[in-house]
Amino acid sequence: MGTEGDDFRVIAGRYRLETRLGRGGMGVVWRATDQLLGRRVAVKELAQDDSLSDDEARLHRDRTLREARAVAQLSHPHIIVVHDVVEEGERPYIVMELIDGSSLADRISAHGPVDAAEAARIGIDLLSALRTAHAAGVLHRDIKPANVLVESGTDRVVLTDFGIAQVAGATTLTETGSFVGSPEYTAPERMSGAATGPESDLWSLGVLLCAVLSGESPFRRDSLGGILHAVVAAEIRPPAQAEPLLPVVRGLLERDPDRRLDAREAERMLRAFRETGRTPQPGAASGGRTPRLVAGRTPKPPVPYSPTQRDVPAPATVEQPQARHSARGVLVAALLVAAMAGAGVSAAALLLNRGGGAGGGDTPSSSAPHTTASASPTPTPTGSPSASPTASPSTAANTRTAPSGYRTAQDPAGFSLAVPEDFTRSPQGERVFYLSPGGTFRLGIKVADPEPGGPLAVMRRSAAEGPGNNPGYHDGRVTRTTHAGQPAALWEFTWDGFSAAEGPRHTYDLCWEENGRMYDVWVSAPVGKVREAREYFDVAVDTFVPS
């Protein structure tokens, strides 16, 4: 898997693994030396799951590498720096900044809880980090004291293990590629298997503030069932030590994510406490949440569609809000999890794949089998109904299993992939789109002949044309990556949308070559729904098969 030299293993020809710093559900973290640059680094050696098939292992590895590369694009003093992502012997390694210090969990264990002023400082730093990550479409999904490092000498707070953290132990629910997190710190909507966004990270931060102030989470119980009941149904009782920061804690621990305090307002309130010793109430004008659209912003006129754009104009229909799981429904699922866990049933699979009821199956599970079914045709933005094709028995061998809540579309353009059950096919010239009701989410696919320079050059040319094709284009970045073992390029950017009513959007776009053809798959969504968009994007890419 590597080379031996001076009793140390060297990977990727440059990183010498020297001392094991720790072990968790995701693998081993090493203190290492970058022999090329002569600097100390931390290297996470990701564990391999022997229960996965070769295809599943490859998809999981590709997704892990994509997420790590996304985190590597983040630049913030309170976010761990990812220097490199490499493979050795088909095993991924993530090369990170080496922090000389300990975790916040270890600090509390050794020295006890912190006071309100220190908790506010920690909260401010983490909120600032989350705002940067969320703006880039990256969620953490496992915020807890063990994933926060405190640098010795400077007390700098550093958030680590973005998006890929899994831990072992009786109070952790994990399932490869679908559920990541620790129940004591997991938001109620994630417990229910509903699609989640930045608000879920903010709930976890509220729990973390309680833990650093009192020494433990307010949802700690003696059993998994007790934890799940406490999170989704029991009265929330912040510890007495949280009294100075109670408006922030209560705002973050709001079970309805639509009413939960947002990061900007929570940071403002904590800064006010640091300056005055008193925590103000959430801003009355926004109900504690920062409006998504900036007041006074000059709307840009709609831009006509052109074949070079990666999106389509929004239809005139208004999207109906998605129904949320009721507290009773969440509680039933939680109690079922507790009952079935003792019988050897995967708790995460039960939470994420339960059927029936509004919103069931919103969160995909890449390992769950799903029987494809044709959705009822719905009008497309072009005005003519178009039923999305589904796999037939004769084509099933050329497709990958669709996760729960998805169906496999065998597209006449020469490919198959899994799309959400309510997405409708809408061809647009050389591109094929699958659109959610109302066109809020837009999944696009293009099949073409290879172009000079390969996928990386194609994405860079598209990025150069981004400002002309996407109003308000900003924060665009192109990253070299791989897909299906072939060179690929990932392009991400944010833009203003085609109208003021539509609002800002974020786009993920992956391009690669396979079997003499070039494939381009992208998903566009409102910036407030980037987590759902990333899931649709990952499932589309992971299940894509050329015909």
Strand partners, 520: 446, 511
Place of tokens 């699979």: 349
Strand partners, 489: 480, 511
Mean pLDDT of all residues in 268-274: 96
d(CA 81, CA 84) in angstroms, rounded, equals 9
Q: How confident is the model at residue 298 (pLDDT cuts 50, 70, 90)?
A: very low
- Catalytic residue, candidates 142, 496, 509, 520: 142
Percent of the chain with pLDDT over 70: 72
d(CA 127, CA 123) in angstroms, rounded, equals 6
d(CA 45, CA 491) in angstroms, rounded, equals 26
- Ranges of H-type helices in 33-140: 54-72, 104-111, 116-135
Q: Which two tokens stand for residue 25?
A: 């559900």
pLDDT per residue over 240-264, tens digit each?
999 999 999 999 999 999 999 999 9
Q: How confident is the model at residue 59 (pLDDT cuts 50, 70, 90)?
A: confident
d(CA 290, CA 265) in angstroms, rounded, equals 7
d(CA 90, CA 476) in angstroms, rounded, equals 30
Q: How confident is the model at residue 8 (pLDDT cuts 50, 70, 90)?
A: confident
Q: How confident is the model at residue 502 (pLDDT cuts 50, 70, 90)?
A: confident
Residue 26 is predicted with a pLDDT of: 65
Residue 55 is predicted with a pLDDT of: 78
d(CA 295, CA 179) in angstroms, rounded, equals 37
H or E stretch including 332? Answer: helix 327-341
Phi, psi at 153, each rounded to 5°: 90, -35
Phi, psi at 524, each rounded to 5°: -120, 140
> For this structure, is 55 an active site residue?
no
Which residues belong to CATH 1.10.510.10 in the chain? 101-286
Q: How confident is the model at residue 404 (pLDDT cuts 50, 70, 90)?
A: confident
Which residues belong to CATH 3.30.200.20 in the chain? 3-97
* 186 pLDDT more than 70: yes
CA angle 79, 153, 207 (to 5 degrees): 45
Chain centroid offset of residue 399 CA: 25
Of the candidates 407, 326, 353, which has an alpha carbon nearest to the alpha carbon of residue 178? 353
Of the candidates 467, 525, 455, which has an alpha carbon nearest to the alpha carbon of residue 491? 455
Q: How confident is the model at residue 89 (pLDDT cuts 50, 70, 90)?
A: confident
Which residues belong to CATH 3.40.1000.10 in the chain? 375-546
Comparing 400 with 313, the larger pLDDT belongs to 400
Q: How confident is the model at residue 205 (pLDDT cuts 50, 70, 90)?
A: very high
* 127 pLDDT more than 70: yes
d(CA 436, CA 32) in angstroms, rounded, equals 46
pLDDT per residue over 429-445, tens digit each?
889 999 999 889 999 99
* Domain covering 3-97 assigned CATH 3.90.1640.10 in the classification: no
Mean pLDDT of all residues in 332-340: 45
Q: Domain 375-546 sits in which CATH superfamily?
A: Mog1/PsbP, alpha/beta/alpha sandwich (3.40.1000.10)
CATH number for the domain whose boundaries are 101-286: 1.10.510.10
Comparing 319 with 268, the larger pLDDT belongs to 268
